[in-house]
Structure formats: structure tokens, C-alpha cells
A and B are shown apart, each in its own frame.
Chain A
Amino acid sequence: MAATADTVRQVEDVTGGAYKYGFVTDIEADVAPLGLDESTIHFISAKKEEPAWLLEWRLKAFQQWKRMVEPEWAKVNYQRIDYQGIHYYSAPKQKDGPKSLDEVDPELLKTYEKLGIPLREQELLAGVVAVDAVFDSVSVATTYKKELEKKGIVFCSISEAVREHPELVRRYLGSVVPVADNYFACLNSAVFTDGSFVYIPKGVRCPMELSTYFRINAQNTGQFERTLIIADEGSYVSYLEGCTAPQRDENQLHAAVVELVTLDDAQIKYSTVQNWYPGDENGKGGIYNFVTKRGACRGKRSKISWTQVETGSAITWKYPSCILQGDDSVGEFYSVAITNNAQQADTGTKMIHIGRNTRSTIVSKGISAGRADNTYRGLVRISKKADGARNYTQCDSLLIGDKCGAHTVPYIESKNPTARVEHEATTSKISEDQLFYCLSRGLTQEQAVSLIVNGFCKEVMKELPMEFAVEAQKLIGISLEGSVG
């Protein structure tokens, strides 16, 4: 626990004790009673000192959520979630987590070691120490925050944004993912507590990958995270979410919402490396990740690009999507989803073409090993007015072993005869020949699998920001260890 104590001091040093929304004030108190009713929402809103409109907004979401039924998907099986068995608000959880690394799944520790993660960070990732109590990154964060402020860029927690930039939040929150969009997004709208807010002013090109330098802090991912990114006219931002190191969390259910908005000529590049704890070999203790991610290309010639590498979670359910409203706007989705052992992933994207000459590209690479199941579900919808719309979809599955599955479910709905939609799909296996060829050159079985899989994912990996890509490559190898031979 030494790490916690001295990071507290460091944070105080850095901020002169003014780390207002940190853990210093209320680390152990402030846990909402178990379960969810209207009073829970009042409690959260009061804790966050929110304006009345937001409380209203939450309550409305809650009313709608109560009337909704939890969806069932054909390809994903899991134990029902007890929504009354969750604390919907709690300060950094010191008590629930393991007390030391000795109590952590040794497999997880092995992975940390392979990724070369320092001990202190290991403690953090494994949940031994509180997330926002992290050494150097705080001072680094403060430095970069100043640089961003100079350019008028806002990058802060969503709670802070509600206080400091209410007009922006009010205007855009829920404007891409409506409150009642789906069961999990609706729940999130009612109870979200954490998340990031980004605003890039007109004509500004964000000078750094956002959250690279904040990565550790940015992991303060609660169960119900809410992220809102707005790129004003002619601006550009690249945002990184997640971390290659597997993260453990006491919360089994994660239901985040991410909303992106681009105005005329603006561009958002959103990259995710998601590596939640998948549970043990049988998926026990793994995270359920049900997330709603959607971007609206509101402006002409604007562009939103999702790149994701998914290796974690027991269950992943997510469809980062683009609504292409502005004429000539562009949506992209590049995805690698790896499932091993008992993991299940149901991912894909939706490209909704509304504006004229809108273009979208989908490249999905699914890799299954062990007994895992991997489903790609894609929807391309071309509305009546979307003259000249174009979509290209490429969907490749790679199977390792013969107990796993891959499913590709493309939906295409075109109401405009001038639209062009292309779809290509392949399923392959790592062949005995390929493995032996690699072995005969001295590579180990594991290196061979990693190399072949990384080759298979190449088109997606090259979309990741450089430093992220290198880590992600390693991660792919590690997550497939033991899957062959």
C-alpha cells in the first residue's frame, strides 16, 4: 500500500493540494446504497453538484430504462446481471480490490511482466491501488493540459465539463446517442459518473494524441463511463482510449457511451485498445463490456475514423458507428477482435449514409482461438437522399484450432440506386504449412502465431498511432499464447 500513500503526497505536491475532484477528500465515504431507484440518481447528481437540467435528464433516462427489456443476442451467452446488486456511485475503491499483488491471478501478472510494465503500474492495473493515484502522469498531465489550454482545447472529465462548459455539454450530450437508444446506453444516461470531455475549437489541430500522456489517468474508467468529443469546423483530434495492459476491475458490467461530433471539415480519429480482464480459462471473473460508441459527421467533408483492437473482456458487445449526415463526409471502421478460451465477442459497425457522396470503409479482422466465439455484425444503410454514396466492407476471419467459431452477419439496406456497396468476406485458418515454415526458420510456436496473426491484422494495425501499434502487436501475440500446439 506504500504506493498509494506516497502518490497521494505527490499529487498534493503537484497541485498544491488543489486536486479538487481527486480522491483526497472522500476516499472511503460516498458510496451510494446498493441498487438503483430515483433516490440513487438524486444522490449521484448531488454528489456531482450538477445543474437541474442534468438531473432531469438523468431521471427521464431512468424512467425510460425501467420500461425497457434487456436485449438478448443470438450469439452471446452470459449470466443475467443483477442491476440491484450494484453500487452506482462510489469513490475510488480501495477496499474491494486485492490487498496486494499476491492476491492477483498469477496469469495476469505474467502478462504484465511480458509487456514490461513496472511494478507500481502493475499494482494499479490489478486494482491494488486507486487509479487516479498515479505518480508522474499527474505532473505530466498538468504540463500538457496547459499547452492544450493555450490552443483553446478543452480536455477534462465529463463532470468538470458540466460545471465549466455547461452550454457545450447541454447542446451535445445525448445528441448522437439518444437517451433511449438501447438498454445499456439508457442505463448509462441515468447513472454515468466518469468519462472524458473534449472540445477542439475551429481550425485547431490538436498537437498531440489525446490521452497518450494521460493514459494512466484516463483509465479511471468507471462502470458507466461517458465520453463526449466535439471537433468544431476544420479541427482535428486523435484520441486514444484504453491501454494494452490487461485491466482488472471488480465491476463486472461496463456500459460506456461514447459520442463524437464533427462539424464542417473536421476530423476525429478515435483509437481503442481494449484489454479488460477476460477472466480465467472459463471466463470466470471476466468483464462484460457493453458499450455504445457512435459518431455523427454533421459537417460537410468531415470524417470520423474508429480503430479498435479488442482482446479483453469475457463478453464484448460493441458497434462503433458513424452517421454520415454532412455531404462528402467519411466514416471508417478498422477493427481487430481477438477471442480466446471462453471469450465471446459480438462486434461490428453501422454506417448510416444520409448526406450526398458520403463514403464509408469497414475493415474487420476477427480472430478466434480456443472455444471462443467471434461475431461480426455490420449494417450499411443508404438513405434515399444519399446520392453517390459508397461503402466498401472487408470482413476477414481467422480461426485457430477447431473448437472456435466465427460468424459474419452483414446487413445492407440501400434506398438509393446510385449508391455503390461492396462486401468481401473470407474465413481462413492458420495452416500447418505456415506454422512449420516459421518454425523451420527458428521462430517458436508462439512467435509464429503472433507473426501470422499480426500479418492478418496488418491493414488495421497500420491505422493505429505508431506507439500504440507497437504495443498492440505484442499484445496480440500474448493474448493468443497457448492457443496452438
Chain B
Amino acid sequence: MALLEIEGLHVEVGGKPILKGIDLSIEPGEVHAIMGPNGSGKSTLSYVLAGRDGYEVTAGSIRFDGHDLLEMAADERAVAGIFLAFQYPVELPGVTGMTFLKEAVNARRKAEGEGDIDAMAFLKMVRAKAKTLSITDEMLKRAVNVGFSGGEKKRNEILHMAVLEPKLCVLDETDSGLDIDALKIVSDGVNALRDPGRSMLVITHYQRLLDHIEPDKVHVLAGGQIRRTGGKELALELERNGYADFVEAA
């Protein structure tokens, strides 16, 4: 059974139709990439999956891991295993990275009927994972995303993902703004999380990322619809030809 099953999804934002009939099915362990021109609705799709207010589903359904996702609030989806790495991570002044992650971890544990995580064990676990992403202790003590560089913010998103170990990872342009070394670090981080039980939906503009994170499928989203689906060679084709074909078709 697919981990994520989207059928005939229509979404409006502020009364304006953005997604116009999306069908998408992701099996456990699969990595799917979504590519598409600016404004085609990629982030919208990611927000709808995460349950953001203001994104009105006017038709269609989403099933996730046996749940009717559209019946669940954003925080319920998160503890059920959906994770969104933001295109633009948000600053939380005065809230340290450690505090934030601990709350998040404990929220999930609570949902699973477990008590709060042991403080020492938590510290150790986060530090170990941070290290693989070249995130320093100093960064963890700072307020979440405040004063972080673009690349640091993106690495921090992957740290959240690594700590929370979600079932479905939605990565919204995690590669944009990364230098070459950071791209490698982030990709390695993401690949380390690849698992037969875990699926990923990777939104990107660049074929380059898909050299590092090899997708099982690539979808082209244009004009609020998935115009084409293929293997990773589709990304190479897009790199050569751009979206002209799809935009005209829209």
C-alpha cells in the first residue's frame, strides 16, 4: 500500500485555484522529485500536505499511512510522521534550537504514549546528528534560524528531519542557496535517512541535487497539474529544454 496517496486534489489560496487536480502516489521507501516553474504550485502542495491554514482543499483526497490526512490538524500530521523542510525556514527569536527540538521530540513521544525523553540522551543524540551536518554546538544554542545564513538554515532543517525521523519527508527547495560543499553535506544527510519504510518528496529546480539524491520518479508540476512523470532522466531533459513545452500546454 502506498504511504501517500493523493487523488484529484484541487486547492485554492485566497479564492484563487492553485492546484488543479493532482494525482500522486508514493510507495514506502520511494523518493519522488517534483520540478516545475516558479509559481506552479510546488510549495502550495507541500503546505497542503503539512496542513497549513488558508490552503483550501476544494476537491480530492489525501491518504497517508492509513489516515485521512485532510481530517488532521497540522500538529497531528507532524506527530503522525509528516515532515516539511521549509523553502524559507522561519526565525524564532529567543527559542534555542535545543529547546525547540526537545519540544518537538516530546510532542511526538507523547503521541506515541511515551514519556519525555531523557535530557542527557537527547543532548547526546542531537549533538551526534548535528555533527554529521556540520552544525556546531554554538549554533544549537542560538535562537532557531535567527541570524543563520541561508545555507545554515537549510542544514538546520535537515537536522530537524534527522532528529524527528519522520515517515514522509517533504523537502521544499532544500538545495537552493547551498554552496557546493553544503549541498554534499545536506544530500549525505538526506541519503542517510533513506529507508525502506520512509518516503521522500523532493522539490527542486536543479538536476544537480538529483545527482546526489537519486529519485525513483520525477514529476513535472506546471499550471497546478502534474504534466509528466518519468525516471531521473526526465530531470536531465528538463535541464536541457526548460519548461517551455509544459508552460505552453498549460
Question: Could you tell me which A residues sit within 8 Å of B by CB distance?
Answer: 431-434, 436-445, 447, 451-452, 454-459
Contact = CB atoms under 8 A, between A and B. Distances in A.
B6 to A, nearest CB: 18
Given A445-B75, A451-B99, A440 B50 contact: yes
A459 B94 CA distance: 8
Nearest to A365: B94
B93 to A, nearest CB: 6
Contacts of B89: 437
A434 B92 contact: yes
B20 interface: no
Nearest to A447: B103
A455 B75 contact: no
Contacts of B104: 441-443
Contact of B75 (A431, A433, A434, A443): A443
A106 B84 CA distance: 39
B107 A444 contact: yes
A433 B107 contact: no
Nearest to B104: A441
Nearest to A432: B53
Given A436-B74, A442-B164, A455-B143, 14 more contacts: A433-B90, A434-B90, A434-B92, A437-B86, A438-B100, A440-B52, A440-B83, A441-B107, A443-B104, A443-B107, A447-B107, A456-B94, A458-B94, A459-B94
B93 A440 contact: no
Nearest to B146: A455
A200 B51 CA distance: 58
Contacts of A434: 90-92
13 contacts: A436-B50, A437-B90, A439-B73, A439-B78, A440-B78, A440-B84, A441-B103, A442-B111, A444-B107, A451-B99, A455-B93, A457-B94, A458-B94
A436 B52 contact: yes
A439 B103 contact: no
Contact of A455 (B54, B79, B92): B92
Interface in B150-175: 160, 164
B32 interface: no
B111 A439 contact: no
A456 B93 contact: yes
A439 B100 contact: no
Contacts of B100: 438, 441, 451
A451 B103 contact: yes
Nearest to A436: B52
B74 A455 contact: no
A440 B103 contact: no
A85 to B, nearest CB: 45
Interface residues of B, number: 30
Contacts of B128: none
Contact of A452 (B78, B86, B95, B164): B95
Interface string B49-68: 01111100000000000000
Contacts of A452: 92, 95
A443 B103 contact: yes
A409 to B, nearest CB: 24
Nearest to A441: B104
B75 A442 contact: yes
B108 interface: yes
A442 B108 contact: yes
Contact of A439 (B51, B94, B160): B51
Interface in B69-113: 73-75, 78-79, 83-84, 86, 89-95, 99-100, 103-104, 107-108, 111
B130 to A, nearest CB: 16
Contacts of B103: 441, 443, 447, 451
B107 A442 contact: yes
A440 B74 contact: yes
Contacts of B95: 451-452, 454-455
Contacts of A438: 92, 100
Contacts of A459: 94
Nearest to B101: A441
Contacts of A457: 94
B75 A444 contact: yes
Nearest to B143: A455
Contacts of B94: 454-459
A485 to B, nearest CB: 9
Nearest to B145: A437
A442 B103 CA distance: 8
Contacts of B84: 440
Contacts of A456: 93-94
A366 B54 CA distance: 29
A433 B47 CA distance: 11
Nearest to B99: A451
Contacts of A437: 86, 89-90, 92
A441 B90 contact: no
A443 B92 CA distance: 14
Contacts of B99: 451
Nearest to B54: A432
A441 B107 CA distance: 9
Contacts of B51: 439-440
A441 B166 CA distance: 10
A451 B92 contact: yes
A445 B75 CA distance: 8
Interface centre among A441, A452, A457 (most CB of B within 10 A): A441
B86 A442 contact: no
B53 A441 contact: no
Contacts of A455: 92-95, 143
Interface centre among A433, A440, A443, A459 (most CB of B within 10 A): A440
A459 B52 CA distance: 31
B33 to A, nearest CB: 21
Nearest to A433: B90
B78 A442 contact: yes
Contacts of B93: 455-456
Give the top 8 A-B pairs by smallest Cβ distance, nearest first: A455-B94, A442-B107, A442-B78, A455-B95, A458-B94, A439-B74, A437-B90, A441-B104
